[in-house]
Amino acid sequence: MALEKVDKVWMDGELVDWDRATVHVLTHALHYGTGVFEGIRCYDTKRGPAVFRLRDHLGRLFRSAQIYMMEIPYSIDELVVASKALIRANGLRECYVRPLAYLGFGHMGLNPLLAPVNVSIAVWKWGAYLGEDCLENGSRVQISSWKRHDPNIIPANAKATGQYVNSGLAKIEAVKGGYDEAIMLNPHGYVTDGSGENVFIVKDGVLFTPPTHAGILEGFTRDTVITIARDRGYEVRETDLVRSDLYTADEAFFTGTAAEVTPIREIDDRRLGSNGRGPITKELQQTFFAVVRGEIPEYERWLDLVE
């Protein structure tokens, strides 16, 4: 996705000009992947721009930092205020919000405990993650030959920058093979996530999604969709899935902050029953977009107004 410049970036407590939002080449995180981050979306609603589940995402940022023993020198409240101030400063009504805590400049060598912690927040306009066509007609997906890391190699429930080299390998293989996205299995052969999304399938009207122990990132979009689906009377089971479960699904879709709810129409060249965006996928996708745009009062608790 080619970035479109905005005015300001928040860096360690200050709003700096976009062109000056730079770091030294000896920033620890550039060399060793020592950062934790979040991806959040702000949507336009009739009450003005609202950030979706802002505090939940920032809570996960702090849990990721806890795992890697990074002391973030701000509170969640301070980062809430900073995120909203940044969105206002850039005059954006809809955007993606990317908080990042990273080990900075001053110490080289592997010991992360010696390096300073810097924090930045950037916002930019980000449209459909896999493209508009995939949102409407579904994506073509490949099961990657690259496995997701075991939790005793890299904890999947922390959102650390370095672990995304693994997703990057899967994404390269998928796009070089002509697919839109990859799904990764864990070392035991069970389904985990897409390169940057959680995965759901639908069979006989029941939704299935891999459980936390499979080595997924516990996505807030996943949680949102599970909540919406159960509220609408669907049964949702968090259970281990193998690749043939995916091949024989009636419907499948991805969830993620960037990907929102993106249908899957083909997995390893097998067309799914729905052959496009399935009916339950469509219902949940439409409900999701209504929820994030503040059109369903029942879920307004998830919206954090910018103004």
Q: Is residue 35 a contact point for ligand PPE (CB under 6 A)?
A: no
Q: At what angle do helices 54-67 and 76-89 cross, to 10 degrees?
A: 130
Q: Which residue is nearest to ligand PPE (CB)?
A: 39
In angstroms, give the least distance from the CB of 163 to ligand PPE. 8
**Least gap, CB of 54 to ligand PPE (angstroms):** 12
β pairing state of 48-52 and 303-305? antiparallel
Asked whether the beta carbons of 23 and 30 are under 8 A apart, the reply is yes
99 contributes a contact to ligand PPE by CB under 6 A: no
Instruction: Provide the CB-side half-sphere exposure for 59 (13 A, CA).
Output: 7
Piece in contact with ligand PPE (CB under 6 A), picked from 28-36, 107-115, 192-200, 264-272? 192-200
Burial class (CB in 10 A: 0-12, 13-18, 19+), 57: buried
Residue type, 114: L
Annotated catalytic residue 159: yes
Name the residue nearer to ligand PPE (CB basis): 82 or 258: 258
Pairing of strands 40-45, 117-124: unpaired
CB 307 within 8 A of CB 46: no
The DSSP code for 195 is S
Distance CA 167, CA 169 (A): 5
Q: Which is nearer to ligand PPE, 54 or 306 (CB)?
A: 54
Query: Whose Cβ is closer to ligand PPE: residue 27's or residue 257's?
Result: 257
Taking the C-alpha atoms of residue 121 and residue 299, their distance in angstroms, rounded to an integer, is: 26
Find out whether 94 and 66 touch, Cβ atoms under 8 Å. no
135: left (phi over 0), alpha (psi -120 to 50) or beta: alpha
User: Least CB distance from residue 113 to ligand PPE, whole Å?
Assistant: 26
Interface stretch with ligand PPE, choices 10-18, 249-257, 269-277, 293-301 (CB under 6 A): 249-257
* Site for ligand PPE contains 197 (CB under 6 A): yes
Among 61, 90, 119, 193, binds ligand PPE (CB under 6 A): 193
Per CB under 6 A, the segment of 72-80, 115-123, 194-202, 280-288 that binds ligand PPE is 194-202
Using CB under 6 A, count the residues that bind ligand PPE: 15
Q: Should residue 257 be labelled a site residue for ligand PPE when binding is judged by CB under 6 A?
A: yes
Draw the binding track, 203-232, toward ligand PPE (x: CB under 6 A; -: no contact).
Answer: --------------x-xxxx----------
Q: Which of 271, 269, 272, 299 is nearest to 284 (CA)?
A: 299
Using N-to-C axis directions, what is the helix angle for 220-231 and 54-67, rounded to 10°? 130
Phi, psi angle pair for 64, to nearest 5°: -60, -45
In the bound state with ligand PPE, the residue whose beta carbon lies nearer, of 61 and 115, is 61
Smallest gap from residue 261 Cβ to ligand PPE (A): 10
Query: With respect to ligand PPE, which residue has the nearer C-beta, 74 or 220?
Result: 220
Does residue 39 touch ligand PPE according to CB under 6 A?
Answer: yes
Which among 8, 84, 147, 159 is annotated as catalytic? 159
- Nearer residue to ligand PPE within complex by CB, 27 or 221: 221
Q: Which amino acids are annotated catalytic?
A: 159
What residues line the site for ligand PPE (CB under 6 A)? 39, 193, 196-198, 217, 219-222, 255-259
